């Protein structure tokens, strides 16, 4: 049986204009306890790859440029 993908709106958003992942930064990816963030091969910027967010906020707090915003997941809002 094939595996389907169910769409979800992800809570962590990254302002690509501010993100410096393309310069070698991996801070948000490093600090996420659930390990849900990745750097996109396409854009060189950070993004949320897995919808498994505890909305704990180290990614936002530790981002050196203020590029990351953590929203409350929609199911809990």
Partner 1 sequence: MDEIKDGLTEVSCDVLVIGGGTAGPMAAYKAKRRNPATRVVLLEKANVKRSGAIAMGMDGLNNAVVPGYATPEQYTKEITIANDGICDQAPVYKYASHCFDIIQELDRVGIKFQKNENGDFDVKKVHHLGSYVLPMPNGDTVKKALYRQLRREKVLISNRYMATRLLTGRDGQIAGAIAINTRSAEFLVLRAKTVILCAGAAGRLGLPQSGYLWGTYENATNSGDGYAMAYHAGAGLANLECYQINPLIKDYNGPACAYVAGPFGAYTANSEGNRFIECDYWSGQMMQEFYNELQSGKGPVFLKLNHLHSDTVGKIEAVLHNVERPSRGRFHENRGTNYRERMIEMHISEIGFCSGHSASGVYVDEFARTTVPGLYAAGDMASVPHNYMLGAFTNGAVAGEHAADFAQGIDLPEYDPGDVSREQARVLAPTKREDGIPPNQLEYKTRRFVNDYLQPPKVTAKMKLGQARFVEIRDDMENAMVVRDAHELMRSLEVASILDCAEMAAFASLFRTESRWGLYHHRVEYPEKNDDEWFCHSILRQQNRQMTAEKRPVAPYIVPIDESERSAYDRQRIRQQA
Partner 2 sequence: MMGVEPFEAFGDLDEISERLASPDPSVRRLAVIDLVETSSGEAIPLLVRAAGDPAAEVRLQAARALGEFDGVDVAKALIGALVDSDAAVAQEAAGSLAEIRDSRASAVLLPLVAHSSAFVRAAILRALKALQVSESLGPAVAALGDGDAAVRVQAVGVIGYLKQVETLPSLIHATRDASADVRLAAINALSFARNDAAAQAAASALSDREWQVRAAAAETIGRIGHASAVNPLIASLQDGYWQVRQKALQNLGKLRARAAVGAIIPFLADALPSLRKDAAAALGDIADAEARDALATRVHDEDPDVRKTAIWALAQIGARN
Q: Residues in the site for partner 2, rule: CB under 8 A? A: 20, 23-25, 27, 64-65
Closest-CA residue to 12 (of 42, 32, 40) = 32
Contact 16, 69 (CB under 8 A): no
- Does 7 interact with partner 1 (rule: CB under 8 A)? no
Residue from 15, 16, 31, 44 touching partner 1 (CB under 8 A): that is 31
Residue from 2, 7, 24, 42 touching partner 1 (CB under 8 A): that is 2
Closest-CA residue to 19 (of 53, 44, 55, 48) = 44
Nearer to partner 1, 18 or 26 (CB): 26
């Amino acid at each position: 049986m094939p595996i389907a993908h169910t769409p979800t709106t992800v809570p962590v958003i990254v302002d690509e204009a501010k993100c410096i992942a393309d310069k070698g930064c991996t801070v948000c990816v490093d600090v996420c306890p659930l390990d849900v963030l990745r750097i996109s091969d396409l854009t060189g910027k950070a993004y949320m790859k897995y919808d498994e967010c505890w909305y704990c906020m180290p990614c936002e707090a530790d981002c050196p440029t203020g590029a990351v915003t953590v929203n409350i997941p929609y199911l809990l809002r």
